[in-house]
Amino acid sequence: MLENVEKFISGFAKSLHEETFIKLTLGNYKGSDEHLQKILVRLVDTKKGKRLFFLYRYDTRDTAKNYDFNEGIKILRHTLGTEFMAGHLFTTSNDFQLDIGKKGKSRLNTAKPTFKLKPTTSHDREKRRFVQQDSFYLQALGITTDAGEVRDKQQDKWKQINKFVETLGRFFENSLLANRKELKIVDMGCGKGYLTFATYDYFKNILGLDVKVIGVDTKSELVGLCNDIAKTCEFNGLQFVNGWIGDYDLQDTDILIALHACNTATDDAIYKGIKANADLIVVAPCCHQEIRPQIKSPEMLSGILRHGVMMERMAETITDGLRSLLLEKSGYSTKLFEFIATEHTPKNNMLVGTKLEKKSAAVETAAQIAEIKEFYGIKEQRLETLLNS
Ligand SMILES: C[S@@+](CC[C@H](N)C(=O)[O-])C[C@H]1O[C@@H](n2cnc3c(N)ncnc32)[C@H](O)[C@@H]1O
């Protein structure tokens, strides 16, 4: 080990020990990874105590991992002088700049500290991540490779999960649930559980809440696999249940979610959420098949709705619009928007219902719903039927 490299690493270890460490950059990468450019290291508070937050900067993306101090020092020892030929250490005592030349010659400059005060050690100062890419469950479910890269074929799913959890997180922060320490969340039509795992991981491991998450699906093989993976990950509050949404006995639930539960399964899910008094209902519907065959094009719109694609969009608009009104009628404020670009999924409507402390005028909303149904000749809408039963 070169003397200057050893001095640099000792300076790093000392700054951690004496709590003068601010940040570290490893650069001038000469290793075998053609995409890796540098590593940025700073302190982060975790439930296990202070850790080193390593941000790996690649040419087109970043990845991050936390290490304990000994592991972090080991990484430096392993990579400085073999892969990274430069290091810049900032402490409240001094700055240290290490440069290693081609023939192993090195130079270590010590300068006055750029930073005299320690930064706060919080994830909040980082670009907040909602889904942790290095989580084991993403590998086990086939979203990421063993190296933690998102598989090419899973990019769209990955983006959907991220956007869904991010949106859910934002609505949670602005809801009556925001200060809660315990939460129960149910994911209806959870499929392979991508969103269910990510939701659990976010609320449990990123927000640190005491959370119970349940995924419900009819596909028993997926339910079994998901339970196995949850066990492996020691996600003790995560459970998958085999069954139909309509049959599931949903009680004491704070948040109900459903991503692309097919056709009227979304209505079943919303209905269950309303009945369970969920504070937040967040759904991204798909396959809007119920309304389309019922629509009788109003004379005024016949020139437009004779085109299949227009009818398709209209059926989708009316279906989700009616769901939104029915949620409002049931005491929720609603937001209906595109949660992700169409290139990642054409089924990108998201409907969010936030329970109101005080109900709004249900009579007016009911009249509006009736008027819309009459205008389009719609006889039945599943959510309405369930709510009226
Ligand atoms: C398109 S997949 C979406 C899966 C998952 N939410 C996701 O986005 O990755 C729809 C899932 O809903 C399930 N499903 C559809 N109708 C259901 C019902 N009535 N009860 C329970 N599961 C249902 C299907 O088995 C399927 O796994």
Q: Which part of the chain has CATH 3.40.50.150?
A: 136-388
* Percent of the chain whose predicted confidence (pLDDT) is above 90: 66
Q: Answer whether 52 contacts ligand 1 (Cβ < 6 A).
A: no
pLDDT top residue among 111 and 127:
111
Residue 119 pLDDT greater than 60, yes or no: no
The per-residue pLDDT for 125 is 37
Ligand 1 near 270 CB (within 6 A): no
- pLDDT band for 147, please (50, 70, 90 cuts): low
Hey, which of 163, 190, 288, 350 would you mutate to test ligand 1's pocket, going by the most ligand atoms within 8 Å of its Cβ?
190
For domain 136-388, which architecture applies?
3-Layer(aba) Sandwich (3.40)
Q: What is the pLDDT of residue 304?
A: 95
For residues 303 and 350, what is the distance between their CA atoms, to the nearest angstrom?
Answer: 29
Q: What pLDDT sits at residue 139?
A: 82
* pLDDT over 90 (residue 14): yes
Average pLDDT value for the chain: 89
* CA distance linking residue 206 with residue 87, whole number of Å: 30
Q: For 83-116, what is each residue's pLDDT tens digit?
A: 999 999 999 999 999 999 987 789 999 999 988 7
Bridging pattern class, strands 255-262 and 280-286: parallel
pLDDT at 123: 45
Return the closest-CA partner of residue 16 out of 82, 83, 89, 122.
Answer: 89
pLDDT of residue 46: 61
Q: Concatenated DSSP letters for 343-385?
A: TT-S--EEEEEEE-SS---HHHHHHHHHHHHHHHT----HHHH
The CA 114 to ligand 1 mean position distance, Å, reads: 54
Taking only the tens place, the pLDDT of each residue in 327-359 is 999 999 999 999 887 776 778 899 999 999 877
Report the atom number in ligand 1 closest to the C-alpha of 160: 8
Pairing outcome for strands 21-29 and 36-46: antiparallel
